[in-house]
Structure 1
Amino acid sequence: MDLKFKISGYIARPVHDVFEAVADPDTLSRYFTTGGAKGRIEEGATVMWDFHDFPGAFPVEVVEVVPDRKIVLKWEAYEGPPPEGGGDIPAEAAAGYQTTVTMEFDPQGDDRTLVTIAEEGWRETERGLQGSYGNCQGWAQMLCAMKAWVEHGINLREGFYK
């Protein structure tokens, strides 16, 4: 079984505005990266995303950018929290690897955009499955937060986490 997911939703703004809400670190920091984003999404760049609900900033590799259409990213796979009871994580599970995130921006006329976010590449283990569930939840929250920010200037994540 491939561990992957795809979510999508409509945002009532032109595709360029929606694309920039992800590509521009200042805008992304206003509704998604609760600890801030550093670096513009540009092909070949490594940007940093920081979240208050996870310690430390994450390096995010920008693999591909098609302006106003597509962003492909790679980042360290998240496999969920450590096992309950503090059990050891097998060496092969602790080794780092990356998943691939693909964001597509599909204009729907002049003032509406369909955003699709997919992520894939987890190991086919229980921990990989848990990590994919967690990231699916996170991307769904991001898409909702982006819609609220881009359409209404409301930050849904403010106060949502400790």
Structure 2
Amino acid sequence: MELKFKVSSRVSKPIEEVFEAVADPKKLSGYFTTGGASARLETGTTVTWDFADFPGAFPVEVVEVEKNRKIVLRWDAADGNPAEQGQENVAPADYKTTITMTFEPLDGNRTLVTIAEEGWRETPGGLAASYGNCQGWSQMLCALKAYVEYGINLREGMYK
């Protein structure tokens, strides 16, 4: 069984605005990377993301960016789910997973955002980590929608 998932959300804003909310580090830090994002997502760069719920900035490789269409990222896999076990009980794995975000324009200046992640090893720890990341990306889409449509940061105070 291949460990992968895909989550989607419709955001009631034009594709350019939704894409920028992910690619721009200041905007991304306003609703998702609550500990900060170091730089803009551009092909071939490595940025760092930090989260209040899992402190400690970590590298995110930017594999590909097609403006207003797609962002492909790679980052270190984990062995286990920090949401279930606490971050201190999750071991880093010696491989990476791949995240693909796609942005599709819809009628009425709406945007369909889809996030897929794949590449975990077929182990109990890989399965747990994939579930945790599926939860995290689902929360990211909810937070993105609230931030872009209403200016609300859903993650503020959620973890502290």
The reply to whether TM is greater than 0.5 is yes
1:57 counterpart residue number: 57
Aligned positions of 1:115-130 closer than 5 A: 115-130=113-128
Superposition RMSD in Å = 1.9
- Residue in structure 2 matched with residue 103 of structure 1 by the alignment: 101
Per-residue CA deviations over 1:61-88 (Å, capped at 9, x if unaligned) read 000111000000000112225897xxx9
Q: Is the 8 A contact 2:81 2:132 kept in 1?
A: no
Asked whether the 8 Å contact 1:63–1:73 carries over to 2, the reply is yes
- How far apart, in 2, do the equivalents of 1:69 and 1:4 lie? 21
Taking the aligned partners of 1:7 and 1:145, their CA distance within structure 2 comes to 14
**1:69 aligns to what?**
69
SS in 2 for 1:16: helix
- Number of residue pairs matched? 156
Gap runs ≥5 in structure 1 = none
CA distance in 2, matches of 1:94, 1:38: 22
Q: Which amino acid aligns with 1:135?
A: N
Write out aligned runs for 1:1-162 (5 A). Answer: 1-81=1-81, 95-109=93-107, 111-162=109-160
Q: TM-score, normalised by structure 2?
A: 0.92
Separation in structure 2 between the aligned mates of residue 81 and residue 117 of structure 1, nearest angstrom: 19
Cα distance in 2 for partners of 1:127, 1:156 equals 28
**Post-superposition offset of 1:111:** 1.1
Q: CA deviation at 1:52?
A: 1.1
Q: For the structure 1 residues 150 and 127, does the alpha-carbon distance in structure 2 shift closer, same or farther, using more than 3 Å as the test?
A: same
Native 8 Å contact 1:79 1:132 kept in 2: no
Residue 46 of structure 2 aligns to which amino acid in structure 1?
Answer: T
Gaps of 5+ in 2: none
Residues 76 and 93, structure 2, Cα contact 8 Å, conserved in 1: no
Asked whether the 8 Å contact 2:80–2:124 carries over to 1, the reply is: no
Give me the TM-score of the superposition, normalised by structure 1. 0.91
Specify whether residues 94 and 117 from structure 1 end up closer, same or farther in structure 2 by C-alpha distance, changes over 3 A only. Answer: closer
Aligned-residue offset at 1:53: 1.0
Determine the C-alpha separation between the residues in 1 that align with 2:109 and 2:11: 9
